[in-house]
Chains A and B, each alone.
Chain A
């Protein structure tokens, strides 16, 4: 049984849980995925399964990839990722659906966060900034970036301006509110990285985390 699935973020809304509360949820299109390739320890040195999600036209597929999809006997896919799984248990063109989350209470979601561009320290790291008046020279700049003669350099990892967002982010331990098998939808409690329509990888949360969350 696979523990991961590929999908797409649809958007957020609110639903009611069974206990009379209104909860914020993110709607995820979760699969259906198809197995493109299996990796086995004999041939590849490790066990894994390559999944593909969201069909695309053959004319938008490069020749090498076309061959790869043809070898699996499936239509070209837009989003392809390798996930952990027993290679012997699966074979190419096999379908994987949201049903793998049927009895799962918590999932982790991996996505690409919204890009914020080149951001300053106030936005990127939450620095306080400086006075707007009283003769201050900079309002949103960072202050000192280190000491003097020792160590005569800036410490590694110093928080400075730079690219913010548009990187891989994993949100852990999101509660599964609903699994919709008919429409291949998954409703998880809370926010998920990325724009609406961006691709995400969903995986079963580790049991330890699940147990801890259950207590609350």
Chain B
């Protein structure tokens, strides 16, 4: 059963996605259609969760906007997500960084993981 669904999802998966992990600071290039025109909007923030698999995989990006926390959930393989750029990688010990929601300022910082290129080609 699942094999058939996997095969179908495979056709729609995008192979141009960089490797990115929980805690990474990313720029998500979102395709926005306004009437006839299409433009790219960048949403940058910390990846605090990745869930699901295959075509149903999503990731949550959190950022602070004027002192207010904003979170957006993107499907990893959606065409509306034009590109994902990894700006900074972080050392984290859990897969869901929901504890960041209760924090702000200094306590919401993550330890940077160095020695990896930030271009997105680094290993997990």
Interface residues of B (CB under 8 A from A): 1-2, 4-5, 7-9, 11-12, 31, 33, 54-56, 75, 77-80
Contact = CB atoms under 8 A, between A and B. Distances in A.
B114 to A, nearest CB: 35
8 interchain residue pairs of minimum CB distance: A20-B79, A14-B55, A15-B12, A22-B78, A13-B5, A16-B79, A11-B5, A10-B4
A16 B54 CA distance: 13
Contacts of B55: 13-15, 22
B8 A185 contact: yes
Interface residues of A, number: 16
Question: Which among B1, B9, B12, B78 has the greatest number of chain A C-beta atoms within 10 A?
Answer: B1
B56 A13 contact: yes
Interface in A3-45: 10-11, 13-16, 20-22, 27, 29
A140 B73 CA distance: 36
A112 interface: no
B17 to A, nearest CB: 14
Contacts of B80: 20-22
B75 A22 contact: yes
A97 interface: no
